[in-house]
Amino acid sequence: MERLYAPWRFEYVTEEKIDGCVFCHILQDKESDEKLGVVFRDENCYVVMNKYPYSPGHLMIIPNVHTDKIEDLDDGDWVDISLRVKQATKMVKDLLNAEGVNIGMNLSKAAGAGIAEHVHYHVVPRWLGDTNFITSIGNTRIYPVDFDKIYRTLKDNSLKYFI
């Protein structure tokens, strides 16, 4: 039998689980930004790398307000979040050479949200040929780059994009 080595998954199955909303936990734990993958914060939202991404550099833009309904967000928060999505898109295109980007929100479990209790945007960098048979057949994703290296690149350049 052949094996795929995926050491980052060990942390997922062994780490202490957060009680309550994971996004509210990240919001409140500003001292752990590097550990949590936070790239940028402002008064209305923050940008964080998805710890278990669809593709390398997968970012999420999360409002500071805990809600599962976008219609409950203040218009100022909505505008700020939308601006951060635009800036994050430029960032992954420039710094990661993404050839395309998927942007989206899954509102509710029925719509596919993994964390349904707190709305958030996904900004997913894409490259031609970035998917192959292994995702469909083996239910496995392969990332050709190190998570921490991508985080460092994005974090170190964040103030050039999120202004």
38 with 25: CB under 8 angstroms? Answer: no
Q: Which residues are catalytic?
A: 120
